[in-house]
Chain A
Amino acid sequence: MKRLALVSILFAGLATVASPAAATSIHVQVNTAPLIGNPAGPFFLDFALTDGSGTLAGPNSVVVSNFNFGGGTAVGAPTLTPGASGSLATSVTLSDAANGFVEFFQQFTPGSLLNFDVSTTNNVDPVQPDAFAFAILDKNLLNLPTTGLGDSLVLLNISRVAAFQAFSTTGSASAGVAASAVLLPEPGTLVLLGSGIVVALRRRAVRRA
């Protein structure tokens, strides 16, 4: 019975922590080891949100949070365009409600693995999707070349169902930096799973009794 209560509390807690406004959340992991001591540095993390319609229809906001630099660290102050706020020390927010192109970048010292989460609203732009892109910039504030669209490492098209892709770097200077992205569970999914487990454990307890 003690275990039952523990599981219930765990899932209730998870459901509470997850933001109810975020319709899509992904977790991103990037192998940044090839950048350690790389002469193309210092490097910068770059996040951009682009309005799809060009008319600011279907505005969306993106929150990037839970940064873990895997032995590295955030450095200095960020550069922000209107619609961007926050820093790598806490979290970054991008909103295209009033600006069609919103960008954030800030220097970081690479560690072995970079981890962070991305949460977006899912307002549908009626013309073409809004897009969130993540890239790493070199010391000249230019994207490291990648296999992705516009030299992105992660591209997330914001629609009713989020479609995202992760890529890796190309070129000799910074080869081997690879990103991966996985979908994070929605709060409703967690509650559902938690409820199922509680029921399963209760049945098991009843059988044992």
Chain B
Amino acid sequence: MPARFTTVTGLLALALGISASAASAQSVTTVFVIAMENTNWAQNGRQFTGSQQQIFQNPAGPWLNGLVNGNLIVNINGVPTNISAQTSFATHYHNVGSNPTGTGLHIHPSEPNYIWSEGGSNFGVLNDNTPYGTGGTNQNNPNHLVTLLTNAGKTWMSYQEDIDLVGGGVNVNAPTANSLTSTVAAKSDWTVPLGNFSGTSAAYVNPYNGAHQYDYAAKHNPMVFFSDTNGGNNQTNTNPLRLQYAPLQQLAIDLANNTVANYSWITPNQFNDMHTALAGSFTYQGVTYQNNSNTSGAEKIAQGDNFLSQIVPMIMASPAYQSGTAAIILWWDESEPDGTTNQDDFTHTIPEIVISPLARPNVNGVPYASTVDLTHSSDLRSMQKIFGVDDSFLLDAANAPDLGDLFAPDALNGPLAVTRTGFVRDRRNGHWYQQVTVTNTGTTPLAGSVYLVFDGLSSNATLVNASGVSNNPPAGSVYMTMPGTAGGLTPGASAVVTLEFINPTNGGIVYTPRILHGNVNP
């Protein structure tokens, strides 16, 4: 055979390079939670008047309403982008402990809800006290989210607006009255912000609303209530955990440098988070909202809407978000009374909005609106799943549905990647077959057994070899125990199962795979 022909043949084989890649969906790897305050998504009365208004369809919230209405165009890295296309939201998100008639728990004011977002319980706290001092609410309890993350090698950061700025006083985050400036203190001076501070200072100009008022509240900083993440009652720059808390200005730097943590909690100050109306008035998109009894509710919404309209695009423009596996969660803490029925009944709902390339796709050109009953426990459960720290769910997170309805299939499966083949019909019995592979793509072992839950399985299909019906919320779906996973899955290990469906109509078979593992009752 001529040498030239051999060379050509070799080149041809090299160029063809037979590929057998699997079709695998992506999971969320990076989360930004933006914590907002004290505003219902929908309520019974006084919806658009007074000091406590709802957000949905409120003219004072044009950005948020444009987002969920499907027509919000934002400039991302110079490209006009319809970010509604990456949005889904909840219409049945409730205060934790609520029930349809308002006769359940009443978890208020703010602080217990923030603590719940970490630990799946308020641990008996029903006030807004700081962690140390009189009535201190510090928790000596390592069973909370960010400690699980740290133990699993994941990173977290609490970005708090108005902290770590230069002001009067010995330590930052304990400024003397009305002394704060807009200048970020040297990182060597940062401290854990254990106490509250607020005031008005000419040297301080808020970069989002232009006001001179500042207001940091520890009650809105969930990690600061646990000893193992606040470093103890030490508000000096010797606290070993001080760099877990960063001023909001640092977020822009971390985004630009692509050094953001896996889990970032972002709390605006009490004006930008919709908690408190700025003194006097606030002008937003040509409308001036007065701080009076009839319009302060609208003013607070406008302040928060304005803040979100700036910070969300900044996150979306970052390499972390553009990687395709980040999620921004707009989170509100609690329901509020509107003068009608109990604020903890199901007619009062809290906003919960997801912005992510992995958000559930739009329906008919508008963001998907989930009607699943969700709470802060749903967020907690979802974070545990995303980051693979779900060997055992934290307290009420064990009882709540996750946020899966707001995301694309597989997005919350974390390091457990699910790969599905197409379906094949076997004429020997008329059954349909599919192969599913679950792989631990993380760096730490995951406890077994691994369970594959078939949420929303098409009514025309029956899974022949199901292990049982899931009790785990949302209950009622059939599940299968993945063979060979009793001892867990080490990093890189896979479990494979062949599914067999009875499908007498030969119709399409659809389901959303949900993965459970470890110490769960599937």
Among B143-151, B252-260, B309-317, B503-511, the stretch that binds chain A is B503-511
List B1-25 residues whose CB lies under 8 Å from chain A: 8, 11-12, 15-16, 18-23
Establish whether residues A129 and B458, one from each chain, have CB atoms under 8 Å apart when the complex forms: no
* Interface pair A165/B20, CB less than 8 Å apart: yes
Greatest chain B CB density within 10 A among A55, A150, A185 is at A150
- Cα-based distance from A55 to B458 in the complex (angstroms): 11
CB-defined A-B contacts under 8 Å, sample of 15: A46-B427, A50-B423, A54-B510, A127-B510, A128-B23, A129-B421, A131-B422, A149-B421, A149-B433, A151-B426, A157-B421, A164-B20, A183-B16, A183-B18, A196-B11
Considering only residues 471-522 of chain B, those with a C-beta below 8 Å from chain A are: 498, 506-510
Q: Would you give the 0/1 interface string for A123-158, flagging 1 where the beta carbon is closer than 8 Å to chain B?
A: 000111111110101000111010011111001011
Contacts A46-B427, A143-B426 given: A185-B23 contact, CB under 8 Å?
no
Interface assignment of B275: CB less than 8 Å from any CB of chain A: no
Task: Report the nearest A residue to B8, measured CB to CB.
Answer: A197
B420 within 8 A of A: yes
| Cβ–Cβ contact A163 & B423, under 8 A | no
Proximity bits, B67-110, A CB within 8 Å = 1, else 0: 00000000000000000000000000000000000000000000
Q: A101-B506, A126-B361, A128-B422 are in contact. Are A159 and B427 (CB under 8 A)?
A: no
Chain B 245-281 per-residue mask, 1 if CB under 8 angstroms from chain A, else 0: 0000000000000000000000000000000000000
Bound form: Cα–Cα A133–B432 in Å: 12
Q: How far is the CA of A152 from the CA of B435 in the complex (A)?
A: 13
| A162 to B18 CA separation, bound complex (whole angstroms) | 10
B154 contacts A by Cβ under 8 Å: no
Contact of A143 among B21, B428, B509 (CB under 8 A): B428
Bitwise, A164-184 to B at CB < 8 A (1) or not (0) is 110000000000000000111
Q: Chain A residues near B12 (CB, 8 Å)?
A: 185, 193
Q: Mark A70-85, 1 if CB is under 8 A from B, else 0.
A: 0000000000000000
* B409 beta carbon closer than 8 Å to chain A: yes
CA distance A183 to B422 in the complex (A): 19
Whether A162 contacts B19 by the Cβ 8 Å rule is yes
B420 touching A128 by the CB < 8 A rule?
yes
Which A residues from 16 to 44 make CB contacts under 8 A with B? Answer: none
Closest partner residue, chain B, to A185 (CB atom)? B16
The one of A55, A137, A143, A189 in contact with B510, judged by C-beta atoms closer than 8 angstroms, is A55
Interface of B, secondary structure class, is: loop
**C-beta contact mask, B414-458 vs A, less than 8 Å → 1, else 0?**
000000111111111001111100000000000000000000001
Q: How far is the CA of A181 from the CA of B248 in the complex (A)?
A: 56
Contacts A54-B508, A150-B432; is A158 near B424 (CB within 8 Å)? no
CA distance A161 to B420 in the complex (A): 14
Chain B residues near A148 (CB-CB < 8 A): 424
Q: Does A59 contact B (CB under 8 A)?
A: no
| CB-defined contacts of B424 to chain A, threshold 8 Å | 48, 50, 131, 133, 148-150, 152, 155
A52 at the interface (CB under 8 A from B): yes
Q: How far is the CA of A131 from the CA of B431 in the complex (A)?
A: 15
> B-side interface residues toward A, CB under 8 Å?
8, 11-12, 15-16, 18-23, 361, 409, 420-428, 431-435, 458, 498, 506-510
Measured CA separation A185–B508 after assembly (Å): 32
A56 cross-chain contacts in B, Cβ below 8 A: 508
Is A137's CB under 8 angstroms from B427's CB?
Answer: yes
Query: What A residues does B506 contact at CB under 8 A?
Result: 100-101
Min CB distance A101 to B, Å, is: 4
The reply to whether A163 and B428 contact each other, CB–CB distance below 8 Å, is no
5 smallest beta-carbon distances between A and B, as pairs: A54-B508, A131-B422, A150-B424, A150-B433, A150-B426
A159 and B510 contacting across the interface, CB-CB below 8 Å: no
CB pair B510–A101 under 8 Å, yes or no, is no
- Give every chain B residue within 8 A of A141 (Cβ-Cβ): 427
- Report A45-100 residues with CB < 8 Å from chain B CB: 46, 48, 50-56, 100
Chain B residues closer than 8 Å to A162, beta-carbon distance: 19
- State the CA gap A192–B19 with chains docked (Å): 19
A55 touching B426, Cβ below 8 Å = no
A130 to B428, CA, bound (A): 21
Known: A50-B432, A135-B427. 5 other contacts (CB 8 A): A150-B423, A157-B22, A159-B23, A182-B16, A193-B12
Contact check, B427 vs A100: say whether CB atoms are below 8 A apart: no
Q: Is the CB of B21 within 8 A of A163?
A: yes
Indicate which residue in B20, B425, B426 contacts A163 across the interface (CB closer than 8 Å): B20
Q: Pick the contact of B425 from A50, A127, A197 — CB < 8 Å?
A: A50
Nearest CB of chain B from residue A61's CB, rounded to whole Å: 15
User: Which of chain B's residues has its CB closest to A24's CB?
Assistant: B19
Contacts of A53 in B (CB 8 A): 508, 510
Question: Which residues from A are CB-within-8-Å of B431?
Answer: 150
* Chain A residues whose C-beta falls within 8 Å of the C-beta of B426 in the assembled complex: 143, 150-151
Q: Which of B18, B409, B420, B425 contacts A101 (CB 8 A)?
A: B425
Minimum Cβ distance to chain B for residue A138 (Å): 9
Residues on the A chain within 8 Å of B425, using CB: 48, 50, 101, 103, 133, 150
A101 surroundings in chain B (CB, below 8 A): 425, 506
Taken together as a complex, chains A and B put the C-alpha atoms of A133 and B423 apart, in Å, by: 9
**Which single member of B20, B22, B423 contacts A52 (CB below 8 Å)?**
B423
